[in-house]
Amino acid sequence: MQIIPVILSGGVGSRLWPLSREHFPKQCLPLTDEHFSLLQQTALRTANLNVSAPIIVCNEDHRFLIAQQLQELNIRNARIVLEPVGRNTAPAIALAALEAAQEDSDALLLVLPADHVINDIDAFEAAIEQASTLASDNYLVTFGIQPSRPETGYGYIKAGKEHTVDKFVEKPDLETAKGYLASGDYLWNSGMFLFKSHAYLSELETYRADIYQSVSKAFQERTQDLDFIRVNESEFSACPEDSIDYAVMEPTQKAKVVPYNGDWSDIGAWDALYDFAEKDSEQNVLIGDVMAEETSNTLVRASSRLVAAVGVHNLAIIETADAVLVMDKANAQNVKKIVKRIQEEGRNEHAFHTTVHRPWGTYQTVDLGERHQVKRIMVKPGEKLSVQMHHHRAEHWVVVSGTAKVQNGDKEILLTENESTYIPIGEIHALENPGKIPLELIEVQSGSYLGEDDIVRFSDRYGR
């Protein structure tokens, strides 16, 4: 029976700040692999199965980033369903199930969070094969992870005979977790599932008709936007928020659990990344340009400069171009408190890196003053920024490499290396890369207001 991978990619991973940001979340970062992001690893994990095009459920802000990462894997037929707002996993999976049912309501949905790390592909495929028999009989199958330690950060499943679920258990305290591990009857709740789309929707309608009706109405009024499926915003926003565990898996009589016995991590915080990574002789994990002396049990990740650690222990030190986090690894769950303070104080470090990704390429802020801003801009071959104008700023563009096709008022010009143009305040303009190599240029802005919301768009190929 054919399997449709459903990849849930709605979170932002604030406990992995400052690397994970609202507009570049953890699942899009290469945290455990030099070449592939967590999202890409999740998509590649199903390559040897009998699968059709995946369904990705994500929020609107990440749509172009996720589409680009799938294209890098040559996955060009994915269905990307956009959530107007986050409503947890029960509504998100319902959207995927409704989309899958348009093609085949008997197909098996393999629901996978985008931020898991699994290296034992043989064990992963064996668990799916075992679960497929149960799911084909209209059971809702969840995968339980064989615990390797008394973990207090995960929920547990008590497994009974013949794959029955005796009960779901909330995150326990340490002594309770030790008891679960010693008994051998408990599995970590992985958040991965396998079931038919109609089987899930039927149980959702039975136990949470309010969620089922809201999501169904939102999906019925969907529209196609480029490669994206947009559901009705007002209907989906009215949907109650709940997880699949509470909404369906706990009350249903059709739940089954299949154990997965391989390696697994959800990389939810910096201590989890430390535990997962290979360590040196001093039990350090050193990533990037790092020097360490008399240091042990420490994670250091440098992104943009040399980071030196001397005489420290049990720390996580995470450096990016605009922020540095230093903490005791035991406090990894409290990074959210810093992110919340950044938001409350009206700063931007929770949302953006200094390099910001756009569907056409990237820009990086090099210098920022009261009335000026300097950006390094990269436009991918064949891409074009919107036709736009600004009320409060003028711009000066200098081409560093590549070729720029520029609309400047009623003039259209080609600029190459070391050539420039000036865009006055209020002038309608556009920038395009007609070449085969990336276009790189320096943009100098000057004016009384330099915010990104001072853009009036007249046309945009990306529908913004």
CATH of the domain at 52: 3.90.550.10
Same domain, 91 and 227: yes
Within a domain: 350: no
To 10 degrees, what angle do helices 89-101 and 209-220 make? 50
**Domain range enclosing 366:** 355-459
Average pLDDT, whole number, for the chain? 93
Q: How confident is the model at residue 290 (pLDDT cuts 50, 70, 90)?
A: very high
Contact between 144 and 189 (Cβ < 8 Å): yes
Contact between 107 and 194 (Cβ < 8 Å): no
Same domain, 305 and 404: no
Residue tagged 């008997």 (tokens): 106
As a whole number, mean pLDDT of residues 347-362 equals 90
- The CATH code of the domain that includes 404 is 2.60.120.10
Same domain, 248 and 321: no
pLDDT at 149: 87
Within a domain: 33: yes
Residue tagged 């991973």 (tokens): 13
Q: How confident is the model at residue 401 (pLDDT cuts 50, 70, 90)?
A: very high
Phi, psi of 123 (to 5 degrees): -65, -35
* Domains: count for the chain: 3
Same domain, 44 and 170: yes
Higher pLDDT, 10 or 400: 400
Same domain, 88 and 215: yes
Asked which of 230, 260, 290 is the last residue of a domain, the reply is 260
Asked which of 225, 260, 295 is the last residue of a domain, the reply is 260
Same domain, 428 and 315: no
Q: How far apart are CA 175 and CA 158, in angstroms?
A: 16
Asked which of 260, 281, 298 is the last residue of a domain, the reply is 260
Within a domain: 428: yes
Same domain, 324 and 408: no
Give tens-digit pLDDT for 191-243: 999 999 999 999 999 999 999 999 999 999 999 988 899 999 999 999 999 99
Same domain, 439 and 333: no
Same domain, 203 and 288: no
Within a domain: 345: no
DSSP string, 120-168: -HHHHHHHHHHHHHHHHTT-EEEEEE--SS--SSS-EEEE-GGGBEEEE
pTM recorded for the entire structure: 0.86
Residue tagged 């143009």 (tokens): 421
Same domain, 254 and 293: no
Within a domain: 209: yes
